[in-house]
Amino acid sequence: MSTALILGASRGIGHELVRQYRADGWRVIATARKQSDCDALKEMGAEAHLLDVNDTAGIAAMGWKLDDERIDAAWLVAGVYGPRHAGFPTDVEFDEVMHTNVLSAMRLLPVVAPLVAAVRGKVAVISSRMGSIGERTSASGSLYRASKAALNSVLKDTALTYGGAGATCVAFHPGWVQTDMGGSGADLVVADSVRGMRTALAGIKPEANGSFLNYDGTSLPW
Ligand SMILES: NC(=O)c1ccc[n+]([C@@H]2O[C@H](COP(=O)([O-])OP(=O)(O)OC[C@H]3O[C@@H](n4cnc5c(N)ncnc54)[C@H](OP(=O)(O)O)[C@@H]3O)[C@@H](O)[C@H]2O)c1
């Protein structure tokens, strides 16, 4: 049986990844930062672990828990948008967005990627088109954009480090999705975004290691 790991599965895109993988008969290991969300994930048939992705000790503990696992598909989903005002970010806002969207990836991907490489599996981070510098036509959400551009850089380094060992590592833009972050006016329902990304990830070959992909599998500029 194939195993998926979903980091940040309490709601939104992560929650839907758990639902779809379970519906397809996968074993699912999922994380959330509240016990009530872990309980709900267990009811969906997932093995759930408490993890705040900003908790260094929690990441180390997660490494121990996952030590013997072999992961076919690992998804780093947890993320925050941060301030929606146009002024300078405060130190607190900067730290929350950069720690959650970037530092967590720098800490979690080296734990997860070797478990994926062992079965020649795949690592996906949920980035955003807003992080693309090549496609940029607006400066709104500047801190979020900077964090996703930095996340893309971390993904590329992860691809360089673990691709040769067998892990195919990609960044996804999930589309503009109807979640708490995307809002009800977004283009896509979460089921369609997740179905698209799962299909794309299942179909990619090792040559795609280090790519930035739209949810439909088409290539995006960095
Ligand atoms: N929706 C969109 O249109 C869109 C577009 C581009 C990219 N994305 C990206 O897609 C990912 C998922 O977003 P979403 O749309 O599903 O948003 P969401 O519904 O707001 O969900 C955000 C998820 O991140 C988790 N999270 C945040 N900080 C965390 C932390 N410190 N530790 C553990 N979990 C944490 C949340 O957990 P709690 O429930 O505990 O807060 C929640 O599960 C994010 O990385 C986002 O940037 C979304």
Element (H, E) at 31: strand 27-32
Output the pTM of the full model.
0.98
Determine whether the shortest distance from the Cβ of 99 to ligand 1 is under 6 A: no
Quote the mean pLDDT of the chain: 97
The angle subtended at Cα 143 by Cα 187 and Cα 16, nearest 5°, is: 40
Question: Distance, CA 181 to ligand 1 centroid (Å)?
Answer: 7
**Ligand 1 touching residue 126 (CB < 6 A):** yes
Mind listing the pLDDT tens digit for each residue in 133-183? Answer: 999 999 999 999 999 999 999 999 999 999 999 999 999 999 999 999 999
Q: Regarding predicted confidence, which is higher, 85 or 71?
A: 71
- Tokens of residue 188, six digits: 């896509």
Mutate to test the pocket of ligand 1, among 6, 11, 20, 52 (most ligand atoms within 8 A of CB): 11
Percent of the chain with pLDDT over 70: 100
Look at residue 86 and tell me whether its pLDDT is greater than 90. no
3-214 classified as CATH 3.90.180.10: no
Residues 6+ apart with CB under 8 A from 111: 59, 62, 63, 66
- pLDDT at res. 183: 97
Q: What single-letter amino acid sits at 82?
A: G
CA–CA distance, 100 with 28 (Å, rounded to integer): 22
Answer yes or no: is the C-beta of 55 below 6 A from any ligand 1 atom: no
Query: Is residue 31's pLDDT more than 90?
Result: yes
Q: Which of 98, 126, 106 is nearest to 212 (CA)?
A: 126
Q: Bigger pLDDT: 85 or 6? A: 6
